[in-house]
Amino acid sequence: MAVTGLVFIGYVLLHMYGNLKVFAGQEAFDEYAHHLRTFGEPMLPHEGLLWIIRAVLLLSIIGHAYAAFTLWGRANRARTQKYVVKKAVAATLSSKMMRWGGVTLLLFVIFHLLHFTTRTINVNGDKDSPYERVVSSFQPEMWWVTVIYLLAMGALAMHLRHGVWSACQTLGLTNNAKSRARANFAGVFLAVVIAGGFALVPLSILLGIVD
Amino acid sequence: MSAPDGTKTGMKLTLNIWRQPDATSPGKMHTYQVEDVSEDMSFLEMLDVLNEQLNAAGEDPVAFDSDCREGICGMCGLMINGQAHGPVTTTTCQLHMRSFKDGETITIEPWRADAFPVLKDLVVDRGAFDRIIQQGGYISVNTGSAPEAHSVQVPKEDADRAFDMATCIGCGACVAACPNGSASLFMGAKITHLGQLPQGQAERDKRVVNMVAQHDHEGFGGCTNIGECTSACPKEIPLDVISQLNKDLRTAMKHGR
Amino acid sequence: MTDSHSEFSSDVDSHADAPTIDPDLIDDAIDYYTPGEPIVDAKAPTGPIDQRWSTRKFEARLVNPSNRRKLDVIIVGTGLAGASAAATLGEAGYNVKSFCYQDSPRRAHSIAAQGGINAAKNYKEDGDSVHRLFYDTVKGGDYRSRESNVYRLAEVSTNIIDQCVAQGVPFAREYGGLLDNRSFGGVQVSRTFYARGQTGQQLLIGAYQALERQVAAGTVTTYTRHEMLEVIVAEDEAGQSRARGIIVRDMVTGEIETHLADVVVLASGGYGNVFYLSTNAMGCNVTAAWRAHRKGAYMANPCYTQIHPTCIPVSGPHQSKLTLMSESLRNDGRIWVPKNKADCAKDPREIPEEDRDYYLERIYPSFGNLVPRDIASRAAKYQCDDGRGVGPEVEGVRRGVYLDFADAIGRLGRDAVEEKYGNLFDMYARITGEDPYETPMRIYPAVHYVMGGLWVDYDLQSSIPGLFVTGEANFSDHGANRLGASALMQGLADGYFVLPHTIRDYLADGPFEKLEESHPAVVEAKAAVEERINHFLTVGGTRSVDSYHRELGHIMWEYCGMERTEDGLKKAIDLIRTLKDDFYRNVKVLGTADSLNQSLEKAGRVADFIELGELMCIDALNRRESCGGHFRAESQTEDGEALRHDDAFAYVAAWEFVADGEKPILHKEDLTYTAIEMKQRSYK
Ligand SMILES: Cc1cc2nc3c(=O)[nH]c(=O)nc-3n(C[C@H](O)[C@H](O)[C@H](O)COP(=O)(O)OP(=O)(O)OC[C@H]3O[C@@H](n4cnc5c(N)ncnc54)[C@H](O)[C@@H]3O)c2cc1C
Ligand code: HEM
Ligand code: SF4
Ligand code: FES
């Protein structure tokens, strides 16, 4: 769970870095998208790296979701008779949202793939340039696309807030109060940086900073 | 509290208590009134008062566990208004009625975990904890075979940390509070206690693997690091121990166990 | 001293005025018992004291390892004394069944011991030795213990520490990584090993883990939530009666079970709860021991009770138990009460210095607040009897004295006081709701430990062959008073190092012929248990079990507590007999026999406490001397200190049960000391 989660984190960091190239202009962004596909050629076939990444991500998502649903099931079986009154004292909001938040992310990822990868969902006319596709998707008249992405980033932030801390615990990195505080900070930090970084692009387009 | 004439009167409380005649019968919540509760009473003494009242009325008294009533044996444990051992960081027996207000309604339930089946009313069976310990929560040393105590030096910090983790009283509040019904805090405390000492090294890998296997077999849930356990723990066992547990488990796996 | 004495009960004065009488001639209890044959413990080898134990170990026969599996051992109790024995006998390969009434062996009341455990390691190089620990223990016990037993205890004490350290017991350590020691209970050497304020817990968890390891190994079976209600004593073909099993009640299902074995060990702890309020756990009982007593095991010195001066006072009639606070508080706290009764209800901070009576400092100028436990306890009682106690009025009397840290805080600073006593202050604040940094603490004595218990010989075998008794349940090592940190030592010494050797000598004759459940002795024992349970459930009376227990506690505390007198004890015996009668006719126990029924459990325990209470009073009446924790007002020095009469009372009083309503028989075991000389103590 932690390992697959960290794979995602690694991936989303890269992904975000790529997205932020939007601010460097159309050329840079398209160049980056192209580069992704030709990286490693001729050692790797065309789109080789992309497929490797996709395979790793797919395996990770399967592993991650499998582990998540197993834990979920165990928790349900561990307490079949619920409390009449139960107070949560220490649980953070993010920790309570892991399961449904995770499912939300899964749905979003599917939507996201249909949107930008397979282009099945075509929100504002199909464009050849990746840059144009991005920019046209987040135009003010298509505000609901932006809302979906922003909500998803909110969910991602929540998931990472608890996920990063939790992964550190799971990996046995937090054996004292100091390291626990650090892991918690890392959770908040990564959540803000990643979700914020991603959100920057649609927001900027929406507000006309990028066009 | 003072009545108008200046004489002391006690609090009046409404208690919602889980009643269940035995392990196999269904149970349900019952409402009782108690009066004249002094704030110097412990929570369990308040229940004693209720029981005297029920006994006098010919009703079966509420069964609940307690023994030492000084916070060390781990026998007591009630879910009080949705919190394991109630609103103060201590055991149920050391909780006092001054933590409650006159007229308050208090909901009292047993620990809820399928690995801790209810035996009657508020009494549960925590035998699963003993069975986890059986799987490795010890250092194997037969009586009489021990070397001279001073033959091994243990750095004070290690001894202190081992002690802190060894203060777990096995009450089960961590399980009761955990949204996943996991006993990781309990298990982690023991693994950290023994793993912190030189004497505990020989069996370290085997210990963690077997204890975790038993834990899962008993039907406890898996830990997702939420932290309800540690805030319910009367001995303030920190979350570190779960991290330590995971680390030891990983090391054991590396060693091929 | 005289002025605080002048107020206490009149019968004391009448005796104090009487000319000294030869105590030989007096036997206050003669109407209450039948004199019996003296007993000699023939098991202790003679010869130099330091070789007796090795001699005995060598002479004790061995059991072939392949035979051990065929030998069944029942151990009742999983405290230090029981768990250690079960683990050790399991390791040796015997087939052990271990019983406790809690839901886990780890919860036995040994868990509550705070202070520490003694051992003659002499790590501090301060002149300690086996002999000194032996000497201190005999002297501390006011020369009323058996010297060979005590010597052995001191001898094996060092092995205990080795064993526990190897098990991972996290004793306190110094920065160099070696074990730390402190001095405890008024001795001049530092020989007490400790694990912060939770030594008993840590030792018990060590023993518990060793026990659970044997459960996994298949040599020990644990029966939790099982209460022993009877011993089975059966005659073999040769006409020899032996303890062969127990009858227990499964406290969850109510089933009455028979467990048979080749030998039975009782490690069932102390009976301080006969006083209702004590520092013992709610479930601590005398039932296991008392049932054995009724089957022929002698009860020795039942009146020897230890009362601890620094407990948190009773706060009201609802009080269910008392909490001990470490005695170390007396190192810095000053004990006082108001000089004027009128001030007792006042805020103590408003009572000016000149209106305070620092009575211990006044009466015992050289020891002051650090006088021994019994003296401090009695002095507090006298102040409260005199109407100068403080705190809430419970049944018309304020029972508490101040333990004031204002001076210490002024002298050392609040931080230093917090550093030393922080956790105790927190505990006090949690229980009382008062802040001891601001207002003085209130303390009062409470029953803490019983030195009396089932009589055992040097092998720890009772007067019933095949019934061994260890730990607080036996009487053996502490005489009339136990030193701090020595009960843990005794429990573990018995269980790890003594019993496993002595029991093998007995088991060498086994396995004994198989007993059928249809054997008359088994049938009789089981029927008796069922009948008793049935009786409680069908009396249909009006009073709750707790109310009887509380009343018994009152009687015991009033007349057989810190200070005992002939008249008081006789009165108590009458009261107890009446109470017993009423109990059997008027107790109200609801519920059924075949379910978890806590009132029923209590009823059985209280019934036995009532009988024990009577015997304690008779024992106290018989012992017209003051020794250790037993203070007879008739036997004190002019200064009010305990006065022993070695010429008349240097014996163990071992009581034999005859029948309900009949006088018990007193067997005396004379105590002789070869390695030590008897002396009177003085604390002026
Ligand atoms: C608050 C407190 C503090 C103390 N501090 C110290 C200290 O600092 N140092 C020191 O040396 N001593 C101390 N003592 C004394 C010491 O703790 C005890 O004397 C000692 O631990 C007794 O051990 P035990 O094994 O004999 O009995 P216990 O630990 O009391 O165990 C009794 C066992 O018998 C079982 N049992 C009893 N009756 C039955 C029955 N009828 N059926 C089935 N099972 C039964 C119980 O379940 C339990 O397992 C303290 C005592 C108290 C109360
Ligand atoms: C299929 C969609 C997803 C689901 C159903 C899901 C669900 C979960 C659940 C239930 C947990 C577990 C437990 C916990 O610690 O509370 C978890 C942990 C985690 N998730 Fe996800 N998640 C999903 C997608 C993601 C994504 C896209 C990322 C990365 C950006 C991610 C990163 C993490 C991390 C780092 C953890 C912590 C792992 C650990 O505790 O060991 N997850 N997830
Ligand atoms: S870890 Fe804490 S809450 Fe859990 S059993 Fe131990 S003492 Fe109780
Ligand atoms: S009764 Fe022992 S911890 Fe509460």
Which of B61, B147, B162 is opposite residue C162, by nearest beta carbon?
B147
Atom of ligand 4 nearest to the CA of B91: 4
Residues B108 and B24 in one domain: yes
Q: Which residue of A has its CA nearest to B215?
A: A78
C-alpha to C-alpha distance for B252 and B250, rounded to whole angstroms: 5
The model's confidence at residue B238, banded by pLDDT at 50, 70 and 90, is very high
Predicted local confidence at residue A2, as pLDDT: 87
Of B109, B225, B238, the CB nearest to A166: B225
Segment C273-302 mean pLDDT: 97
Do B157 and B233 reside in the same domain of the chain? yes
pLDDT digit string, tens, across residues A49-97: 888 988 999 999 999 999 999 999 999 999 999 999 999 998 999 999 9
Residue B188 belongs to some domain of the structure: yes
What's the gap between Cα B71 and its chain centre? Answer: 10
C376 token code pair: 């401090």
Do residues B71 and B161 share a domain?
no
In a domain, B5, yes or no: no
**What pLDDT was estimated at residue C383?**
94
Compute the distance from residue B31 Cα to the ligand 4 centre, in Å: 25
For residues C107 and B67, is the Cβ–Cβ distance under 8 A? yes
CA of C106 to the centre of ligand 4 (A): 12
* pLDDT at residue C500 in the model: 98
Same domain, B135 and B227: yes
Per-residue CA distances from C69 to C267, C461, C611 (Å): 22, 22, 39
Q: Whose CA is nearest to atom 7 of ligand 2?
A: A102
Q: How many CB pairs under 8 A join A and B?
A: 121
**pLDDT value at position C476?**
86
d(CA C401, CA C7): 17
| 3-class DSSP assignment, residue C400 | coil
Residue B3 lies in a domain: no
| Whether residue B134 sits in one domain with residue B102 | no
Note the pLDDT of residue C612.
Answer: 98
Would you say C214 and C86 are in contact if contact means Cβ atoms under 8 Å apart?
yes
Q: Mind listing the pLDDT tens digit for each residue in B135-189?
A: 999 999 999 999 999 999 999 999 999 999 999 999 999 999 999 999 999 999 9
- In this structure, are B133 and B101 located in the same domain? no
Contacts of C84 in chain B (CB under 8 A): 143
Select from C356, C357, C379 the least CA-distant residue to C309. Answer: C379
Percent pLDDT > 90 in chain B is 95
Residue B159 within any structural domain of the chain: yes
The verdict on B86 and B134 lying in the same domain is: no
Q: What is the CATH number of the domain that holds B88?
A: 3.10.20.30
Q: Does B132 share its domain with B247?
A: yes
Average of pLDDT values for B33-46? 95
Contact C548, C587 (CB under 8 A): yes
Residue at B59 is within a domain: yes
- Residue C19 scores a pLDDT above 60: no
Task: Please give the mean pLDDT across all residues of chain A.
Answer: 90
What percentage of chain C exceeds 70 in pLDDT?
95
Mean pLDDT to the nearest integer, C402-427: 89
User: Is residue B5 predicted with pLDDT exceeding 50?
Assistant: no
Chain A: residue nearest B241 by CA?
A: A175
Q: pLDDT class for C16, splitting at 50, 70, 90? A: very low
The reported pLDDT for the residue numbered B8 is 54
| Amino acid letter, residue C425 | F
Q: Give the C-alpha separation, C53 to C159, whole Å.
A: 14
Q: Among residues C301, C283, C288, which one has the least CA distance to residue C243?
A: C288
Q: Tell me how close the Cα of A197 comes to any Cα of chain B, in angstroms.
A: 27
Mean pLDDT of C304-322: 93
Cβ-defined contacts of C236-245 (< 8 Å, 24+) = C236/C512, C236/C513, C237/C513, C240/C465, C241/C296, C241/C464, C241/C465, C242/C464, C242/C465, C242/C466, C242/C512, C243/C292, C243/C295, C243/C464, C243/C465, C243/C466, C243/C467, C244/C466, C244/C512, C244/C515, C244/C521, C245/C74, C245/C515, C245/C522
Does the CA dihedral C472-C475-C476-C479 come out positive or negative? positive
Predicted local distance difference test score (pLDDT) of residue C148: 96
Rounded Cα gap, residues C1 and C379, in angstroms: 9
- The domain of B70 spans 11-120
Distances (CA, A) of C629 to C79, C280, C643: 24, 17, 12
Q: How does pLDDT run across C541-551, given as a tens digit for each residue?
A: 999 999 999 99
Flag if C544 and B127 touch (Cβ within 8 Å): no
Tell me, what's the pLDDT at C683? 62
Residue B7 pLDDT: 44
**pTM metric for this prediction:** 0.94
For residue C237, pLDDT over 90 is answered with: no
What is the number of domains present in chain B? 2
**CATH number for the domain including B209?**
1.10.1060.10
Query: How large is the average pLDDT for residues C632-655?
Result: 91
pLDDT at C24: 52
What are the DSSP E strand ranges found in C198-284? 220-223, 226-235, 241-250, 256-260, 263-266
Of B219, B226, B250, the CB nearest to A91: B226
Q: What is the DSSP string of A31-45?
A: HHHHHHHHTTTTTS-
Identify whether the C-beta of residue C391 lies closer than 8 Å to the C-beta of residue C399.
Answer: yes
Q: Answer yes or no: is pLDDT of C5 > 60.
A: no
**B159 CA: distance to closest CA in chain C (Å):** 6
- CB of A187 within 6 A of ligand 2: the answer is no
In order of start, what are the domains of chain C with their CATH numbers?
33-304+451-507 (3.50.50.60), 308-448 (3.90.700.10), 520-651 (1.20.58.100)
Buried b (16+ CB within 10 A) or exposed e, A66-93: ebbeebbebbeebbebebebbbbeebbe
Query: ipTM for the complex?
Result: 0.96
Does residue B98 surpass a pLDDT of 80?
yes
Q: Of C568, C426, C614, whose CA–CA distance to C14 is shortest?
A: C568
In terms of domains, do B96 and B163 share one? no
Cα separation of B31 and C346, whole Å? 41
- B114 and B140: one domain? no
Please report the pLDDT score of residue C682 as a whole number.
Answer: 66
B45 and B136 both lie in a single domain: no
pLDDT computed for residue C2 by the predictor: 33
Q: Is A194 a residue whose pLDDT tops 80?
A: yes
Cα angle C497, C499, C504 (rounded to 5 degrees) comes to 115
Q: Say if residues C334 and C407 touch (Cβ distance below 8 Å).
A: yes
* Over residues C103-120, mean pLDDT: 95
pLDDT of residue B131: 98
Q: Which domains does chain A have, with CATH numbers?
A: 2-206 (1.20.1300)
pLDDT of B22 over the 50 cut = yes
pLDDT at C684: 58
Question: Based on the domain organization, do B76 and B24 belong to the same domain?
Answer: yes
Q: Are C488 and C200 in contact (CB under 8 A)?
A: yes
Task: Report how far residue B121's alpha carbon sits from residue A38's, in angstroms, rounded to the nearest whole number.
Answer: 69
Q: Do C159 and B141 touch (CB under 8 A)?
A: no
